[in-house]
Amino acid sequence: MRAKILRIAAEHFECAEADLVLADGRITIQGVPQRDIALGALAVLANPLRGAVQPGTEPGLEATAYFGPAKGATAAGAHAMIIEIDPATMLLRILKYVVVHDCGTVINPLIVAGQIQGGVAQGIGNAFYERLVFDEQGQLINGTLADYLLPTAPEVPRIEILHHVTPSPYNELGVKGVGEAGAIPVGALFAQAIEDALELPARGIDILEIPLDPGHLWELAR
């Protein structure tokens, strides 16, 4: 964009681009400060009426550039939680949930926290509530929100988030994709925590699938 600004200003002043100074929203001629033009006025000049642009040029003061990293840079994280299960009903309550997360350079902490919290909430639904149930003919029988369970505010705990910053070497900002590490570990964590709470490995039972809704857990425990 700077190159385009200087080119259009040089044409406007009929001088060399090297003689121009771009500062404080204005373009001036070096050594002749009284000859100047504001960027807003230059933008008007850059958009001629009826699109009468010179061949080989583009109207407007805008520029587009593209960057594609050589390799992907995804986040990593470790999740831990303490749960409480009622052995009679198999209803589960999360007492504490902690995420240690590494998405490289954290640009906006509030957005990153929201991404992680939303990912954990989605993971909780995937791990414990959201099961599609079909009858013998393959017809979905829980196709409405009256029957298909979703985690709501009471089911999603307050999440403690700790950031560990390892900048990515694959881009100049050192950032990594933040979404995946909030959701992916939750299912495995639920399986491990439930196995521990119900002492299932000692009884020769391993949880190998999710979601782990109360009805499914009750069958496993029996």
Specify the pLDDT at position 40: 92
CA distance 101 to 114: 13
* Rg for the chain, CA atoms, rounded: 29
Mean pLDDT score, 154-179: 91
Specify the pLDDT at position 91: 87
Specify the pLDDT at position 131: 85
For the chain, list the domains and their CATH numbers. Answer: 2-51 (no CATH), 76-221 (3.30.365.10)
How many whole angstroms from its chain centre is CA 57?
37
Q: Under a CB-based contact definition with an 8 Å cutoff, are residues 38 and 25 in contact? A: yes
Mean pLDDT score, 175-197: 91
CA distance 205 to 200: 5
CA distance 48 to 80: 61
Strand 92-102 and strand 159-163: pairing?
parallel
Strand 159-163 and strand 26-29: pairing?
unpaired
Inform me whether the pLDDT recorded for 128 exceeds 70: yes
Specify the pLDDT at position 52: 63
CA distance 119 to 79: 12
Specify the pLDDT at position 29: 93
